[in-house]
Structure 1
Amino acid sequence: MHFSSIQRRWGAIACLQAFISVAAGAFGAHGLKHMVAAQNLEWWQTACQYLMYHSLGSVLAVLLASISVKFLWSARLFTFGNLLFAGSLAVMTMTDIRVLGAVTPIGGVLYLAGWLMMLKSFLQSSKNVVN
């Protein structure tokens, strides 16, 4: 399979995010649990879970971009969702600045937009595929 340069770039970004999710999850399980309150640790775990889910969604979108480049919009939306959703939860965990919780839902909306874009891309790409 041949990947375009933009697919390679977004694929690398997605894999880096998945790597960060695993590393952050391990840090939370082994080091962070002795440094923060239980509620903060839950935020961290949620951040790691959603970071991984949407990193994998990004990898899928990059692979599907071979069918239609429109799928790359899902990878972009998932990445920015990860920055805002998982990022705000991670910073909140470490700093206990709860006002950052107002940013988290914006990331969630970007996640939803990414999945809707993937749905749209599937529906539109089916017009160009031979049965």
Structure 2
Amino acid sequence: MKAEVARDKLLSNFEVLQHINDIKRRQKQHSASRYRSALKTENFETILLELHTYLGDKSHSPAAKQSVNDIKSFMKEISIYDLEKAEKLQIINIAPTSLVTLYCLVEEYDQRFTEDEGNHMLQLVQTYLHPAPPPSQPET
């Protein structure tokens, strides 16, 4: 499969959640039938609901707790490291809590960064991106 049009911008889960909330807000404000019928396509409501459930307040997604200011501050602080845009996006979306996860998100991590730099990145994630708590382990 060949991409015919390159992406102009990548969106974080937080931005997608904001967009979904804006759509829902507009739907409530403009409950007129012409607006609803223009937005309503097959499965549109289902897609909105499932995305909101996945990214929203009741999920364990970091996007539910993030804010524009937090992400801006994180991006400013993380800019000292030579990370690609896609790597930064992955870090924002996943909000890793361990070096192992960070290692999986950053290409050639072991060749580009030291363990101390990785720990500093994780500290920035903790400070600004509000990662979800790790799932509790079942007792055996």
TM value normalised by structure 1: 0.30
Q: Which has the higher helix share?
A: 1
TM value normalised by structure 2: 0.29
